[in-house]
């Protein structure tokens, strides 16, 4: 069902209950492991690049290499780069973010999510023999005087093959609605990630996607939206290419 939706529509939204069933092996049902995983979002570093333009966001970043046999290895820490074609605000520069902690990168929930994405996206593009995988922990903070902006802002593509966005937590916020647009600009879907493990999948070459800013429900209390964003980009195509 999920693979078919991506093939036909270029995107899919999977609710938390279905996602737990798809993950299968019990990892997502281990409440202690998930709680430890989710708590790591309290330890993200400020995005200093975004702070230069007056916005607030916290994040950590890691790069993995995945091959056709299913193996997935963490690569040496490296910058995140997007061209200005895909990120008009901060494209065209190498951005170095604090790395995802080793215990977080290697924990069961993270590895199960990455393995699931690898199997799904590898099935959609069997000709790809090696993937460049980037993993981002994001916390979008909402303040009374300034709503929390998504990343990147506005409707966009990421310049990769596939994207998986997993909701980790929503605290004291409203909005944060995802919309999907065809390449001609017409909206073809919208949904809001509201429960931990609500997940969106996007075929980045076929659709644009964007998320509305989040605002605090209670302006006197902290407010945030925590997500795990995973992108897959073909690093090596068919053998001999």
Q: What is the DSSP string of 65-117?
A: EEETTS-EEEPPP--EE--TTT-TTTTTSEE--PBPPHHHHTSHHHHHHHHHH
Type and span of the H or E element at 234:
strand 224-236
Q: What is the pLDDT of residue 20?
A: 92
116-154: pLDDT as tens digits: 999 999 999 999 999 999 999 999 988 876 666 665 567
Q: What is the pLDDT of residue 94?
A: 67
Q: What is the pLDDT of residue 235?
A: 92
Q: What is the pLDDT of residue 142?
A: 86
Residues in contact with 116: Cβ distance below 8 Å, sequence separation at least 6, in sequence order: 22, 23
Please report, in tens digits, the pLDDT of each residue of the chain (241 residues total).
899 999 999 999 999 999 999 998 555 458 889 999 999 999 999 886 554 444 568 999 999 999 998 899 999 998 865 544 444 444 456 678 899 999 999 999 999 999 999 999 999 999 999 999 999 999 998 887 666 666 556 788 888 999 999 999 999 999 999 999 999 989 999 999 999 999 999 999 999 998 998 999 999 999 999 999 999 999 976 643 3
Name the β-bridge partners of 236. Answer: 130
Q: What is the pLDDT of residue 144?
A: 76
Could you give the CA distance from residue 224 to residue 214 in angstroms, rounded to a whole number?
8
Please name which of 179, 174, 178, 190 lies closest in space to residue 225, comparing C-alpha atoms. 174
Confirm or reject CATH 2.60.120.620 for domain 2-236, answering yes or no: yes
Would you say 198 and 187 are in contact if contact means Cβ atoms under 8 Å apart? no
Could you give the CA distance from residue 65 to residue 106 in angstroms, rounded to a whole number?
14
Could you give the CA distance from residue 153 to residue 148 in angstroms, rounded to a whole number?
10
Name the β-bridge partners of 225. Answer: 140, 170
Rounded to 5 degrees, what angle do the CA atoms 231, 237, 240 make?
Answer: 160
Chain centroid to Cα 129, Å, comes to 22
Would you say 190 and 198 are in contact if contact means Cβ atoms under 8 Å apart? no
For 134, phi and psi rounded to 5 degrees? -110, 135
Residue with tokens 């199997």: 119
Residues in contact with 71: Cβ distance below 8 Å, sequence separation at least 6, in sequence order: none
């Amino acid at each position: 069902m999920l693979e078919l939706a991506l093939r036909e529509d270029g995107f899919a939204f999977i609710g938390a209950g279905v996602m737990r069933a798809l993950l299968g092996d019990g990892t997502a049902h281990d409440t202690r492991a998930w709680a430890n995983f989710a708590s790591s979002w309290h330890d993200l570093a400020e995005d200093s690049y975004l702070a230069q333009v007056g916005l607030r966001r916290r994040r950590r970043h890691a790069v993995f290499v995945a091959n056709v046999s299913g193996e997935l290895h963490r690569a040496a820490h490296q910058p995140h780069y997007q061209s200005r074609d895909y990120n008009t605000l901060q494209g065209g520069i190498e951005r170095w973010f604090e790395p995802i902690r080793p215990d977080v990168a290697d924990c069961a929930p993270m590895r199960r999510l990455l393995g699931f994405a690898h199997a799904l996206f590898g099935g959609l593009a069997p000709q790809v023999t090696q993937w460049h995988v980037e993993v981002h922990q994001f916390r979008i903070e909402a303040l009374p005087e300034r709503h929390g902006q998504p990343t990147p802002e506005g409707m966009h593509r990421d310049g990769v093959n596939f994207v998986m966005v997993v909701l980790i937590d929503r605290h004291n916020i409203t909005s944060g609605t995802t919309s999907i647009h065809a390449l001609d600009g017409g909206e073809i879907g919208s949904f809001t990630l509201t429960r931990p493990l609500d997940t969106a999948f996007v075929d980045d070459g076929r659709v644009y996607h964007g998320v509305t800013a989040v605002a605090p429900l209670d302006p006197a209390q902290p407010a945030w939206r925590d997500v795990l964003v995973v992108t897959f980009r073909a690093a090596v195509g068919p053998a001999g290419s």
